[in-house]
Structure 1
Amino acid sequence: MNRRLLRCLTGAVLAAVVVLAPAGAGPAGAGPPGSTADGPVRLLAAPDISLSNVKAHLSQFQSIATANGGNRAHGRPGYLASVNYVRSQLDAVGYTTAVQSFTYNGATGYNLIADWPGGDTDDVLMTGAHLDSVTAGPGINDNASGSAAILEVALAVARTDLAPEKHLRFAWWGAEELGLRGSQYYVNNLPAAEQARIGQYLNFDMVGSPNAGYFVYDGDNSDGVGSGPGPAGSAQIEQTIQAYFTSIGVPTRGTDFDGRSDYGPFIRVGIPAGGTFTGAEGIKSSSQATLWGGTAGTAFDPCYHRACDTTTNINDTALNRNADAIAYAVWELAGTPAPPGSTVYSDTFETATGWTVNPAGTDTATAGQWSRADPAATSSGVATQLGTTVSGSFDLVTGPLAGSAAGDHDVDGGVTSVQSPPISLPGSGTLTLSFSWYLAHLNNASSADYLRVRVVGGSTVTVLNVAGAASNRAAAWQSASANISALAGQSIRIVVDAADASGASLVEAAVDDVRIVQS
């Protein structure tokens, strides 16, 4: 990551030659990637990226630097050797690679561009990282970490024989440390029509800082950092990456598009961008140390731009999490279609998967808010809350505790809502949402009380709307299903509301085993 701002990007690039590589061997089809049985499951879900594989690439970059004067900087033999290493990995699994050369400060630099066959070439999802180091050291965190992580994600694309709707392109940039020279050259030399074909750009620069933070580029300025949001479409990248970190219980904070990395040339021409960053020479605050662990008052990367930025200067946990976040973002944003009869999404609530309580900040319930929990059984003449779920031990339930009386933890005072993480629907086929549910109440309820399930995308589809009544209704699991094909091709969220809106009444609700299937 360089210290210069985008205003430094003037002149100095003199000439270029694009060298096209012959097509390599066909992709190594290893079948569909894995998924977890108790978390959200998408067909062709992003695989778990092997930390050991990513670290093996880091070891290769370290060896290259050691053999070439201790660095992999622009114009030095270690940089070209790094390009050749990455290219050889990609050529072997079926990417079409091209090396783009440029001249800066009297030395030749190189960008490596790799395209995965297939997908809509009018809608390119591009993922990049800079490959060069500073001259002072081997640059393992800055930025062999990002380069190795996106390389392993690119290889995972090949292993799984991914066939996304969008065209996938990966890039390793030269001379970033001298002012984003390689990425700027690439963007400047793309005809306007080619720029327009890049729908989104993902950038990963320093993703293994030893005193790591978890920063996500603030695409919509929702965190109020910096001067404003990125181009339209950047917010989707931010939200997608945040959804991954939420699913693993890691809080994130926004970081500004300040022009210090290779997203800069893309956002300047209106291409939406985003990515992650674990911190450079900035000092971790006490509040950040409380949030993420590590040491307050110390730089996120004490070896930033120094000779000690070696393979020992890596936080394995941060590197592993960010590599998986990269894969999640690529798989989600690429629009991987689900074949007929496939499960698009499934959640049994046995693990936390990113559902958010009170997502709009408008809930009025004073008790009995939604929770993912192992519920306690309650009754008051009739069963009001079930202690058993449809599968496993957990469900979404209003006020899971029993208390000393049946009404101690039921819904009181208004509405409580809970919302799923974003779910990317395929663009074709019949899409069916199914789930299990119950609504229980006593005879002090009324028709103003309810359980409602909606699917929210470009429009809203209400799939369940059950009203209460002035009668006892025992808790009993029921099944519901609805056709949501009207939202095909969209990113949607499932929103569940329960309400005690009729004064003092006992109302309980639960939802379990949510599933979307394409047929």
Structure 2
Amino acid sequence: MRSRTPRPGWLAGLAVVAATALTATSAAAAPTAPAPTAAPAALAAAPDIPLANVKAHLTQFQSIATANGGNRAHGRPGYLASVNYVKGQLDAVGFTTTVQSFSYNGATGYNLIADWPGGDPNAVLMTGAHLDSVSAGPGINDNGSGSAAILEVALAVARSGFAPAKHLRFAWWGAEELGLRGSRHYVNSLPTAERARIKQYLNFDMVGSPNAGYFVYDGDNSDGVGSGPGPAGSAQIEQTIQAYFTSIGVPTRGTDFDGRSDYGPFISVGIPAGGTFTGAEGIKSSAQASLWGGTAGQAFDPCYHRSCDTTANINDTALDRNADAITYTVWTLGGTGTPPGSTVWSDTFETATGWTANPSGTDTATLGQWERGDPAATSSSGVTTQLGSTVSGSYDLVTGAAAGSGAGAYDLDGGVSSIRSPAITLPATGTLTLSFSWYLAHLNNATSADYLRVRVVGTSTVTALTVTGAASNRAASWQSAAADVSALSGQTVRILVEAADAGTASLVEAAVDDMAVTQS
């Protein structure tokens, strides 16, 4: 994490020295650390990150610094060796890696970008940490801790076979300590369309401070501190991270987007951001010590930007908890992809699933309103107006299920009736199709003002079916409909079914059955 006042540009004129990457201890071979406090079943999809694996990466960063003048700073050989180490780990498990170079203070810096194959390329979840240290020391907490944690999370993606709905991208930034130079270069060099594809950015800078606090970037300004909330969508990140810490009984506090780390360039262009932080040179208060333990009156990291920021300068408990919080956040926000050709959602109406009649309170129909029911057959003048049979099972959605003393006893009368589905979360990828069966029946006293309409409503609306009446007899007969609703991908939507006897008084009946959303 950079200082509030960046250090002078002493690196001017220094050339990059190519370094031979140290032989890495395989993370997979590292012994497994004891499991942390178990999270609830709802969080079980995200794997546990072995602390020993994360610490093995920190050992490598320490060895790299020791072999290269005691640091891993911008323009120094220890930084390039760190990039080579992380890149080698990612290349070995199938990530597509790109090394992006930039210049600052007369030296070449590097960002390492790693993309996991799959997921929606138009919905990128990006996770980053700065990889450089200051010149004064090896930078194991600042920010080997964040770099090692997100590296192990990326490796866990590969080990687990996680197939998220969003496209996952990880980044290790250069020259953060000199003013966010690497992340700023990356964001500023992105075309506008590419920026728009990054839906959320997660930043982890110092997650193992020895006198640790548990801070979460205040995405919605709920703590009322500092410069205010992040871009829309930042609150979701904050709430997701908080949910993990709540599950393990660890209280968190908000920390402001104060511009000291690599979220800065992202929020400046409107990309939602968030992350965790265990504290830097700030002093832990008595209240914070009571909340989290540790020593009041002492810095969260007494070795901040000093030569003593070594592998001995790590709080294992904080590092372990934060690594697992990162994993949970990536798994949760990344979403679970639905296998192509599978059913995303379906309803045969054989059980009550939470459909709501007259959801907006604006219906005008006085009789025969929509309901889930076991329909009775009705007919008039030899015309079947309501089917007593459904497409499957015994129930459907129907206007006035009862027969009554005649065909007109429970038909739709007086205006519009509507019924709305429970919330449906659509996957972010693939072609999405809503399919269902339907009929609209009426006698020759109907008009074109009478109708059956099915719409899917999210941030926009897709009309799946509109059928209007006419001055003719139309017998009830099940028909099939299908509509592409891919325009609503990744949204939480509801299906709205409406019918109207909106012209002159007429005999109108409608029904729908066997609704499903599928992905291909």
Could you tell me the TM-score, scaled by structure 1's length?
0.61
The residue aligned with 1:20 is: none
Considering only CA atoms, is the larger Rg found in Structure 1 or Structure 2? Answer: 2
In structure 1, C-alpha distance between the alignment counterparts of 2:152 and 2:38, rounded to whole Å: 24
Amino acid corresponding to residue 234 of structure 1 in structure 2: S
SS in 2 for 1:141: helix
> Alpha-carbon deviation of 1:225?
1.2
The answer as to 2:177 corresponding to 1:177 is yes
The residue aligned with 1:297 is: 297
The residue aligned with 2:42 is: 41
Amino acid corresponding to residue 109 of structure 2 in structure 1: G
Shift in CA distance, 336/291, structure 1 to aligned 2, threshold 3 Å: same
The residue aligned with 1:243 is: 243
Amino acid corresponding to residue 230 of structure 2 in structure 1: G
List aligned pairs for 1:421-460, cutoff 5 A: 427=427
Task: Report if the CA contact (8 A) 2:165-2:427 is conserved.
Answer: no
> Alpha-carbon deviation of 1:163?
1.1
The residue aligned with 1:192 is: 192
RMSD value over aligned CA atoms? 3.3
The answer as to 2:119 corresponding to 1:127 is no
Task: Give the gaps of 5 or more residues in structure 2.
Answer: 13-27, 29-34, 345-422, 434-457, 460-487, 494-517
Task: Give the gaps of 5 or more residues in structure 1.
Answer: 13-27, 29-33, 343-422, 431-456, 459-486, 493-517
List aligned pairs for 1:6-21, cutoff 5 A: none
Task: Report if the CA contact (8 A) 1:280-1:299 is conserved.
Answer: yes
The residue aligned with 2:308 is: 308
Task: Report if the CA contact (8 A) 1:49-1:324 is conserved.
Answer: yes
Shift in CA distance, 491/50, structure 1 to aligned 2, threshold 3 Å: farther
Amino acid corresponding to residue 252 of structure 2 in structure 1: T
The residue aligned with 1:468 is: none
Task: Report if the CA contact (8 A) 1:35-1:41 is conserved.
Answer: no
> Alpha-carbon deviation of 1:426?
6.2
List aligned pairs for 1:55-74, cutoff 5 A: 55-74=55-74
The residue aligned with 1:139 is: 139
In structure 2, C-alpha distance between the alignment counterparts of 1:164 and 1:276, rounded to whole Å: 22
In structure 2, C-alpha distance between the alignment counterparts of 1:315 and 1:185, rounded to whole Å: 32
The residue aligned with 1:382 is: none
Shift in CA distance, 42/51, structure 1 to aligned 2, threshold 3 Å: closer
> Alpha-carbon deviation of 1:4?
3.7
The residue aligned with 1:153 is: 153
Amino acid corresponding to residue 71 of structure 1 in structure 2: N
The answer as to 2:284 corresponding to 1:284 is yes
In structure 2, C-alpha distance between the alignment counterparts of 1:246 and 1:37, rounded to whole Å: 12
SS in 1 for 2:42: coil
SS in 1 for 2:127: strand
In structure 2, C-alpha distance between the alignment counterparts of 1:176 and 1:211, rounded to whole Å: 23
> Alpha-carbon deviation of 1:39?
2.3
The residue aligned with 2:411 is: none
The answer as to 2:339 corresponding to 1:336 is no
Task: Report if the CA contact (8 A) 1:5-1:258 is conserved.
Answer: no
User: Once the two structures are superposed, what CA deviation does each residue of 1:363-393 show, in whole Å capped at 9, x if it has no partner?
Assistant: xxxxxxxxxxxxxxxxxxxxxxxxxxxxxxx
Task: Report if the CA contact (8 A) 1:335-1:426 is conserved.
Answer: no
User: Once the two structures are superposed, what CA deviation does each residue of 1:390-446 show, in whole Å capped at 9, x if it has no partner?
Assistant: xxxxxxxxxxxxxxxxxxxxxxxxxxxxxxxxx99663999xxxxxxxxxxxxxxxx
In structure 2, C-alpha distance between the alignment counterparts of 1:302 and 1:184, rounded to whole Å: 28
Shift in CA distance, 197/427, structure 1 to aligned 2, threshold 3 Å: closer
Shift in CA distance, 258/424, structure 1 to aligned 2, threshold 3 Å: farther
The answer as to 2:104 corresponding to 1:104 is yes
> Alpha-carbon deviation of 1:162?
1.4
Task: Report if the CA contact (8 A) 2:284-2:297 is conserved.
Answer: yes
In structure 1, C-alpha distance between the alignment counterparts of 2:95 and 2:285, rounded to whole Å: 43
List aligned pairs for 1:317-396, cutoff 5 A: 317-337=317-337
In structure 1, C-alpha distance between the alignment counterparts of 2:237 and 2:39, rounded to whole Å: 25
In structure 2, C-alpha distance between the alignment counterparts of 1:424 and 1:35, rounded to whole Å: 34
SS in 2 for 1:221: coil
Task: Report if the CA contact (8 A) 2:426-2:492 is conserved.
Answer: no
In structure 2, C-alpha distance between the alignment counterparts of 1:204 and 1:175, rounded to whole Å: 15
> Alpha-carbon deviation of 1:336?
1.4
Task: Report if the CA contact (8 A) 1:226-1:258 is conserved.
Answer: yes
Shift in CA distance, 38/205, structure 1 to aligned 2, threshold 3 Å: closer
Q: How many equivalent residue pairs? A: 338
Could you tell me the TM-score, scaled by structure 2's length?
0.61
Task: Report if the CA contact (8 A) 1:424-1:489 is conserved.
Answer: no
> Alpha-carbon deviation of 1:41?
3.5
Shift in CA distance, 425/81, structure 1 to aligned 2, threshold 3 Å: same
The residue aligned with 2:512 is: none
In structure 2, C-alpha distance between the alignment counterparts of 1:91 and 1:85, rounded to whole Å: 10
List aligned pairs for 1:233-272, cutoff 5 A: 233-272=233-272
In structure 2, C-alpha distance between the alignment counterparts of 1:52 and 1:425, rounded to whole Å: 37
